[in-house]
Amino acid sequence: MQTKRIRTLHKIITALIIVTMISLTFAGAMGALYVREASEVSRLRGEKGQLGADQALPVLSVEVDNKTAQKQEPGMPGQDASAVTEAATAGEDSLSDADAATIAALMQSKEAEVEQAMKDRMKDLVTGEDGSPLKMLRSFFPENLIYSFENEYVFAPVLEEVEKHSLLEENFQKTEEGLMQYVENGTVTSHKGIDVSKYQGTIDWAAVKEEGIEYAFIRLGLRGYESAKIVLDEYYEANMAGANSAGVAAGVYFFTQAVTVEEAKEEADFVIEHLKGYDVSCPVVFDVERISGGKGRADQLTKEERTDITIAFCEAVRAAGYTPMIYGNVVCFTRLLDMAKLNDYEKWYAFYDDYMYMPYNVSCWQYTEKGLVEGIPGNVDLNISFKTW
């Protein structure tokens, strides 16, 4: 019941945010439009006044000359001069009225256009195939990373000090088979990969290679989230040997539950020891995500503690001659880690959708957990990387 009330409250808050956002956007658009139109009217009035003055001078000159011809004393004000001045400004009030009417009509037209454009944009975002209120909020608040966490929306600021990528949204394309790729000037520049563990069972790596898979991240092991025991993935050796034999570039990942820097170094030593004898051309990955559906021993770490643990693992891997990488989702990269201290390490980002919602620099994007690849029974995670190693 409490959860239902919270969700209802969140819906109300979201609706209020959207209404406020629309009102502010509309007011801003109208304000900008008013300033622009007022400036235009001022310009037109200036041109008209200048035109009137240009036309009045010859008339005034003629009238003065005529008065002079009629022996009027030099310098005496002639009545016709006043009439000319009056004529020069005549019609100004009527022009202002016309301008006001034109502006009013234009304002009404622009208001309708802005309102309709906002409605169309909101409709596209919410009713699209992958639409949702969350996606709409993300579209309107690009200065934040917005996500749902424990039944509430979180607006995390995008940090200026964290390196950003230069990828363009319009360059991401999906094939007819549902595979994501990044295309620049008609050329696919992304690279197709997978990640596997014991849950994929026995893999036909030759078939995987034939499918066009270029690389694979293979789970090496994990630390128990309750027992704290470090264990090797039971399919690790078979997967590494199979990938190496088939010519699929290999990297590894380790699921951490370290709660101290010392434990992180212990995990790194375990990983490095089990890399011996294999061709590991891709990064060695530190998986810092939270336990799904359970309580992990690392759940209570502060952001500073988890960041120090991550740095300790990555530096040990780098010292051993391998490329360190950090795996995480939007929660990891906003709530769990201090990203400003991790610019030196590559990132592997998990986000399951048709758009890559992450401004920070990432080397690899895991975009679905429901991929199908020849040679692998059942579903498998699919990735695209924006570089090779």
CA 147 to each of CA 164, 227, 382: distance values in angstroms, whole numbers, following the listed order? 19, 31, 22
**Strand, helix or coil for residue 221:** strand
**Hey, CA dihedral for 120, 122, 125, 128, is it positive or negative?**
negative
What does the pLDDT average to over 331-358? 97
Q: How confident is the model at residue 119 (pLDDT cuts 50, 70, 90)?
A: low
| pLDDT of 118 over the 50 cut | yes
pLDDT tens-digit series, residues 245-268: 999 999 999 999 999 999 999 999
For the chain, what percent of residues have pLDDT higher than 90?
61
**Is domain 161-385 classified as CATH 3.20.20.80?**
yes
Bridge partners of residue 360, in order along the sequence: 164
Least confident of 55-69, 116-130, 178-192: 55-69
| pLDDT of 286 over the 70 cut | yes
Bridge partners of residue 306, in order along the sequence: none
Q: What's the pLDDT at 68? A: 34
Sequence ranges of the domains in the chain: 2-140, 161-385
| Max CA separation in the chain (angstroms) | 119
Q: What's the pLDDT at 292? A: 76
Which residues have C-beta within 8 Å of that of residue 49, sequence separation ≥ 6? none
pLDDT tens-digit series, residues 348-372: 999 999 999 999 999 999 999 999 9
CB-based contact 350:367 (threshold 8 Å):
no
What does the pLDDT average to over 24-31? 53
What does the pLDDT average to over 278-295? 91
The residue behind tokens 């424990």 is 150
Q: What's the pLDDT at 258? A: 98
* More confident of the two residues 387 and 76: 387
pLDDT tens-digit series, residues 292-325: 776 899 999 999 999 999 999 999 999 999 999 9
pLDDT tens-digit series, residues 226-242: 999 999 999 999 999 99
Q: How confident is the model at residue 46 (pLDDT cuts 50, 70, 90)?
A: low
| pLDDT of 223 over the 60 cut | yes
If you average pLDDT over every residue of the chain, what do you get? 81
Q: How confident is the model at residue 134 (pLDDT cuts 50, 70, 90)?
A: confident
Q: What's the pLDDT at 127? A: 46
Which residues have C-beta within 8 Å of that of residue 383, sequence separation ≥ 6? 192, 193, 194, 195, 217, 348, 364, 365, 366, 367
pTM of the model: 0.70
